[in-house]
């Protein structure tokens, strides 16, 4: 076993004259026994030999397994650990980083910031979750807890925690009620398409006909439209963060190619004849002014030739179209629009998915067009749009075995 115990009060070698072990200059000062020379473990002192032996056994075993965590490193508070070590390692799109920062700063640090990492047993998150459930929705609570769990996982990597208390069996995360993605009836989609301001009608066509996200619609360039092959090449989106617009890759940081039906191609051709594309310059990858700027001609811009802002578009263009299409009530003067989240621009993407699946298209193909990282995600979101699932297989088996066979019912 690696390591040894040193008696810091009495010398190891005996006096050659008296045959007794002599006292050291440290006799009676501080802790008597020091455990030393365990690989990857700092020396530690103890008052009693029994405590030193217990530490030596445990630390040596954990060191050999690569599982040693020094409890002294866990004395740092969660607040200090987040600020000094965890925060700088957060990665992702600027909007994602901002949302994570808000969850930690507004919900985690005020409640748990003063607690030392070593003192966070499963009892701490159990109590925290109980309080959190009274403050926010289960979905948002889970997002906060995901960030908290990530902090603990990083602390484990940094050898400041031995295990993640969020993964304890007794720690139960809030359950999110199943909320299926809802699609519009086709008549509703057509009414809104026809009611929206003509300049922005192509936005509805692109989302409804190709499943584009709002930012992808705003970032589409005529250069991305391949009329010959009948496809759209999605290479960027327009994002809004802290009041500033910027270009970024589509969600997930991946470009993709989407099928463009002839009806969408015809609508785009008509749009190009009526509204010329305008070259727009924005920072790439984030809203910071010092980022490199890039220029792209955009299919849709404001009347002033600027890229569209989602917040302004949703209030001044989208919601009036919803009211004109009979989806939400008309508002009175100085009133706010009364629109639910399910009637946001994203419902067009859900409607696109429902139409594609009900037509019998492959889930794998739809996942590729939607930009999902896996068909499993597409199934999780949209399986309820496949009412005939199972029916085709049943029909195929009947064709194989022959439908003329009599159905025998057990007595």
The per-residue b/e assignment along 267-298, b for 16 or more CB within 10 angstroms, e otherwise, is bbeebeeebebbebebbeebbeeeeeeeebeb
Q: How far is CA 143 from CA 112, 139, 166, 291, in A?
A: 16, 7, 13, 29
DSSP string of 160-208, one letter each residue? S-SS-GGGSTT--PPPPPP-------HHHHHHHHHHS-GGGHHHHHHHH
pLDDT in tens, 306-335: 999 999 999 999 999 999 999 988 887 777
- At CA 230, angle to CA 225 and CA 233, rounded to 5? 40
Dist CA 356 CA 378 (whole Å): 12
CATH architecture of 89-167: Orthogonal Bundle (1.10)
- Backbone φ and ψ of 397, nearest 5°: -65, -40
Tokens of 144: 């906060």
How do 33-36 and 44-46 pair as beta strands?
A: antiparallel
pLDDT of residue 63: 72
Assess if CATH 3.40.190.10 describes domain 186-385.
Answer: no
pLDDT of residue 393: 58
360 C-beta neighbours (distance < 10 Å), count? 9
For residues 115 and 128, is the Cβ–Cβ distance under 8 A? no
Where along the chain do the CATH 1.10.443.10 domains lie? 186-385
Where along the chain do the CATH 1.10.150.130 domains lie? 89-167
DSSP state of 46: E
Helix, strand or coil, per DSSP, at residue 340: coil
For residues 95 and 139, is the Cβ–Cβ distance under 8 A? no
Residues of the chain with pLDDT under 70: 1, 40, 66-74, 179, 387-400, 402-411
pLDDT in tens, 230-250: 999 999 999 999 899 999 999
């Amino acid at each position: 076993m690696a390591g040894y115990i040193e008696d810091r009060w009495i010398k190891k070698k005996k006096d050659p004259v008296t045959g007794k072990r002599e006292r050291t200059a440290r006799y009676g000062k501080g802790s008597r026994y020091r455990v030393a020379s365990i690989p990857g473990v700092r020396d530690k002192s103890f008052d009693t030999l029994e405590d030193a032996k217990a530490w030596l056994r445990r630390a040596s075993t954990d060191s050999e397994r690569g599982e040693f965590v020094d409890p002294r490193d866990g004395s740092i508070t969660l607040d200090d650990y987040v600020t000094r070590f965890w925060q700088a390692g957060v990665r992702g799109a600027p909007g994602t980083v901002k949302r994570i920062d808000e969850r930690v700063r507004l919900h985690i640090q005020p409640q748990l910031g003063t607690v030392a990492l070593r003192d966070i047993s499963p009892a701490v998150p159990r109590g925290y979750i109980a309080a959190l459930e009274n403050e926010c929705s289960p979905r948002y609570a889970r997002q906060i807890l995901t960030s908290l769990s990530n902090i603990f996982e990083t602390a484990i990597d940094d050898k400041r925690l031995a295990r993640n208390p969020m993964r304890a069996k007794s720690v139960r995360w809030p359950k999110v009620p199943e909320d299926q993605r809802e699609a519009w009836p086709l008549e509703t989609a057509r009414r809104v398409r026809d009611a929206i301001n003509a300049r922005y009608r192509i936005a509805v066509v692109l989302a409804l006909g190709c499943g584009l996200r709002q930012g992808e619609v705003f970032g589409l360039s005529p250069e991305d439209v391949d009329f010959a092959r009948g496809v759209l090449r999605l290479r960027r989106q327009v994002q809004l963060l802290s009041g500033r617009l910027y270009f970024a890759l589509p969600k997930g940081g991946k470009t993709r190619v989407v099928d463009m039906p002839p009806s969408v191609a015809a609508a785009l051709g008509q749009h190009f004849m009526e509204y010329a594309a305008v070259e727009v310059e924005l920072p790439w990858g984030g809203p910071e002014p010092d980022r490199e700027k890039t220029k792209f001609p955009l299919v849709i811009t404001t009347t002033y030739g600027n890229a569209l802002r989602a917040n302004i578009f949703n209030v001044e263009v989208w919601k009036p179209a919803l009211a004109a299409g009979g989806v939400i009530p008309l508002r009175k003067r100085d009133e706010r629009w009364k629109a639910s989240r399910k009637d946001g621009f994203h419902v067009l993407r859900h409607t696109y998915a429902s139409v594609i699946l009900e037509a019998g298209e492959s889930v794998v193909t739809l996942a590729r067009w939607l930009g999902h990282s896996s068909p499993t995600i597409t199934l999780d979101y949209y399986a309820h749009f496949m009412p005939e699932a199972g029916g085709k297989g049943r029909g195929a088996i009947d064709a194989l075995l022959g439908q003329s066979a009599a159905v025998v019912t057990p007595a």
